Homo-oligomer: A and B are copies of this chain.
Amino acid sequence: MSTPPVSRRARPAKAPLSREVIVRTGLDILDRDGLDALTMRRVAKELDTGPASLYVYVANRDDLMAAMLDQALAPVPHTAPPAGTGWRERLHALMRAAIEAMSRHEGLAQVALGAIPTGDNALLVIDRMLALLKEGGLDDTTAAWAVDLLYLHAAAAAAEQSAYDTKAQDEQTAVAAADAHFAALPPDRYPMVTALRGPLFAPGDRDTWGIDVLINGILRTPAG
């Protein structure tokens, strides 16, 4: 009528909508501007369309975030294991890669904590873990329970890390603030916390240690 009949896709080479391009755009926004900026409207605007158009490819925001999580996990199963090493070192590397991948995108790890993993790449990670645990000689039940525990830990460690990375400008600041808060605590009410404030806030490779604790514990704790 009043508007001239221009093609909807008149602009040069505008990529068509698809689930994958939506997921990728979501990850872009998440990395660039954080979790609060990840709205359906923002994703739509980035793709030069309206929010309603996204719902053809994505059931809702939760579905989008689940897909983003799986996309983020994609490189993990293909992490090159340190050559010529045993199952323990390879499992360790896999765990580190999973934590790293999830913690790199704010808020995605929380998604993993809320649902049994069913995504393609999450299942591949779990499959690799199971293979390594079996290689380590564990019986089926212990291996099954262990992979649950390991995956849970990976998600939790990533959630914690990404929260500190983004909420405060850097982890240093957040820890320093908490340290100061602990310093002001009454020792009669919190004797151990105040006494051990030094070690509690001392730097150190806790991620590596945590994974070692889990593997050592799993090896010495048969299920059932």
Residues of A bordering B, CB below 8 Å: 110, 113-116, 118, 123-124, 126-127, 130-131, 134, 140-141, 143-149, 152-153, 155-157, 159-160, 163-164, 167, 174-175, 178, 181, 185, 189-193, 196, 198-200, 202, 204, 206, 209-210, 212-218, 220-221, 223-224
- Bound state CA distance, A114 and B160, in angstroms? 6
- Bound state CA distance, A164 and B192, in angstroms? 35
Point out the residues of chain B lying under 8 angstroms from A185, CB to CB: 123
CB-nearest residue of chain B to A114 = B163
Are A181 and B221 closer than 8 Å at their CB atoms? no
Point out the residues of chain B lying under 8 angstroms from A118, CB to CB: 178, 181
Are A131 and B215 closer than 8 Å at their CB atoms? no
Are A145 and B204 closer than 8 Å at their CB atoms? yes
- Bound state CA distance, A114 and B115, in angstroms? 18
Q: Do A212 and B204 form a contact, CB below 8 Å, given A178-B116, A192-B134?
A: no
Q: Do A218 and B223 form a contact, CB below 8 Å, given A113-B113, A113-B163?
A: no
Q: Do A140 and B209 form a contact, CB below 8 Å, given A152-B157, A156-B153?
A: no
Which secondary structure characterizes the binding site on chain A? helix
Are A218 and B213 closer than 8 Å at their CB atoms? yes
Are B220 and A174 closer than 8 Å at their CB atoms? no
Point out the residues of chain B lying under 8 angstroms from A157, CB to CB: 152
- Least distance between A222 CB and chain B CB atoms (Å): 9
